[in-house]
Amino acid sequence: MVEITCPSCGRKTELIALEYEIPYFGKILLTSINCGCGFKHNDCIVLGVKEPVRYKMSISSNKLFTKVIRSTSGTIKIPELGVEIEPGPASQAFVTNVEGVLERVRDIVLMAMRWRAEEGDSSAVERCEYILKTIDDVIEGKKELTLVLEDPFGNSLIASEEAEKTNLTPEEVRKLKTGLTVLELSGLSEDEIQS
Ligand SMILES: [Zn+2]
């Protein structure tokens, strides 16, 4: 344990760091700050060579338990659904699996759907319903989707030999959000479920 200054209240608090072994990838470091003032922050750092990366994998019901590690700088995309979960100021790192990613997308879409329904935007509501139905179909093994995870700092990964790993070009890196700024592309932002 390391003592650090809380970025929120300025008092001393503890940074907890845990090493975690990922098959095929080596070690990652999970860090966690949980200050008495209510400030919380989790992140993860891949130990080893880091470069701007993109992981891409076809996901279906037999991939639900594949581990996904997303650092605060990771962007998750499901191109077929037009879904992007981008880093924002309230972003937290998470270690989950493919099913956990789909559950997060479901939560964000459900919330977006309620807002759009209140606004009377029926075409947006229909699109949300389509996304929710497609997620159910993937979990039930009726459909496949593509999961893309991009990280300009190389701290995120899909832990599967079947995930195709490529390096991001400098232009692609420039277009990615790093967690330092927030912009909404497709109207689905992770901060919406956290605020
Ligand atoms: Zn604090």
* Burial readout 73-111 (b: 16 or more C-beta within 10 A, e: otherwise): bbbbbbeebebbbbbbebbbbbbebbbbbbebbeebbee
Domain ranges, ordered by start, for the chain: 1-48, 49-194
How many CB atoms are located within 10 Å of the residue 130 CB?
12
**For the chain, which ranges sit under pLDDT 70?**
1, 24, 178-195
Query: How confident is the model at residue 13, as a pLDDT?
Result: 93
- CATH architecture, domain defined by 1-48: Single Sheet (2.20)
pTM of structure: 0.78
CA of 31 to the centre of ligand 1 (A): 16
CA of 38 to the centre of ligand 1 (A): 6
Query: How confident is the model at residue 179, as a pLDDT?
Result: 53
Alpha-carbon distance of 163 to 148, in angstroms, equals 9
CA of 109 to the centre of ligand 1 (A): 32
- Ligand 1 is an ion; its neighbours by CB within 5 Å are 6, 8-9, 35, 37, 39
CA of 195 to the centre of ligand 1 (A): 18
CA of 28 to the centre of ligand 1 (A): 25
CA of 32 to the centre of ligand 1 (A): 13
Alpha-carbon distance of 16 to 105, in angstroms, equals 28
- CATH architecture, domain defined by 49-194: Sandwich (2.60)
Query: How confident is the model at residue 193, as a pLDDT?
Result: 42
CA of 30 to the centre of ligand 1 (A): 19
- For the stretch 83-86, contacts whose Cβ atoms lie closer than 8 Å and that sit 24 or more positions apart, written own/partner, are 83/108, 83/109, 83/131, 83/186, 83/188, 84/185, 84/186, 84/188, 85/188, 85/189, 85/190, 86/177, 86/182, 86/183, 86/184, 86/185, 86/189, 86/190
CA of 89 to the centre of ligand 1 (A): 17
Query: How confident is the model at residue 181, as a pLDDT?
Result: 36
Percentage of the chain beyond pLDDT 90 is: 56
